[in-house]
Amino acid sequence: MELDRNLNLLNEYPEIYEEMKLVENYIRENIKSRNKTLESIVETLILSGGKRLRPLFVINSAKFGKYKREKAIPIAGALEILHTATLVHDDIIDNAKTRRGIVTVSEKYGTDMAIYTGDFLFTKAVIMMSGKVPEDKMETIAKALKTICEGEVDQFLDRFKINTSIISYLKRIFRKTALLFTAACTLGSNSADCKANDIKKLGRFGFYYGMAFQIRDDINDFVLTEKDTGKPIGNDISRGIITLPAIYAMVKSRAVQETVLSFKGRENRINKEEIDKAIDMVIELGGVNDAEKLLAKYIDRGLELLDTFPDSTYKNLFRDLITGLA
């Protein structure tokens, strides 16, 4: 069960853990297809990994109000399916070979089947939310999905753009990652009839967490191993995706810019020594340390916002989640 990856933390929050098990069951029950090949692919995707963070944010946000299981669980399950769909399409664009330690759909079954799988998951997510989310919120979800797609296109078009600014990077990761966490908190709290101001604040917390989450993920691409992350170390920089640590390093040294540009057009022929050299340059120039400082600011803002809520189990869970990114 993929929920097990969060088990150590959720053991401290048994009420939430029980709800998340229901979400897991709901997801499995709603990924069926009359096409058994498609169903097998989707089942493998769902079982392959992931922390289920987005559904967790839906459930926990809903606990800040009048929790309605019949609404919260379908929304939580739908957002996880939606997230999985974006990953399938993302792997096609990135020509990724593995994700979460297993072969990607596009690598194993080809681009066509991967596109069909992603599209199937998108439609499943919409069906799961149908009747559970107010019409105006469905429009919000549609707009969020549009923005996420635009963010992926931006990242694709900005590859090897060595003059990428920090502002451009932050806008990109908002579209790519933070927006869905914002939506998770907003939809969860809205389903529980929270006060308008609380819905707004929880959505803002989702934004701070999502920004911090992506910055941490981008830092990890320089400091962790493939065993830790489930994808090759230096995966971003070798494909010309300019993330925050690299941006900071490039400001200080043209050598980093030249090294990244040397990867262009031969992304699949770069050897490990070249990638390790690029990583070492970014670290030595303080790119990771500088990125850690901006990460800390988003964490602090999230914690400050949580302090405006009364003490509760659910507030504590959000605090544990965001401090876990430090």
Of 111 and 294, more confident: 294
Of residues 122, 128, 91, 109, the one with CA closest to residue 41: 109
Residue 229 has a pLDDT of: 66
Residue 5 has a pLDDT of: 47
Task: Please check whether residue 244 is in contact with residue 294, taking contact to mean a CB–CB distance below 8 angstroms.
Answer: yes
Please report where in the chains the tokens 């993302």 appear, as a residue: 90
Q: Which residues pair with 99 in a beta bridge?
A: 102
- Give the pLDDT band of residue 6 (cuts 50, 70, 90): low
User: Does 133 have pLDDT greater than 70?
Assistant: yes
Task: Please check whether residue 176 is in contact with residue 289, taking contact to mean a CB–CB distance below 8 angstroms.
Answer: no
CA dihedral 269, 275, 276, 281 (to 10 degrees): 150
On average, the pLDDT of the chain sits at 89
Task: Please check whether residue 325 is in contact with residue 301, taking contact to mean a CB–CB distance below 8 angstroms.
Answer: no
pLDDT tens, residue by residue, 103-119: 888 889 898 999 999 99
Residue 3 has a pLDDT of: 45
Q: Which residues pair with 224 in a beta bridge?
A: none
Of 134 and 62, more confident: 62
User: Does 56 have pLDDT greater than 90?
Assistant: yes
Residue 136 has a pLDDT of: 75
Residue 1 has a pLDDT of: 37
pLDDT tens, residue by residue, 251-289: 999 999 999 999 898 877 788 889 899 999 999 999 999
Contacts of 281 (CB under 8 A, 6+ apart): 249, 253, 255, 256, 259
CATH class label, 2-323: mainly alpha
Q: How far is CA 97 from CA 6, 90, 106, in A?
A: 26, 12, 8
Q: Give percent of the chain with pLDDT exceeding 70.
A: 95
User: Does 161 have pLDDT greater than 60?
Assistant: yes
User: Does 4 have pLDDT greater than 50?
Assistant: no
Provide the 8-state DSSP code for 99.
E
Residue 7 has a pLDDT of: 55
pLDDT tens, residue by residue, 136-158: 778 878 888 888 888 888 888 88
Task: Please check whether residue 244 is in contact with residue 144, taking contact to mean a CB–CB distance below 8 angstroms.
Answer: no
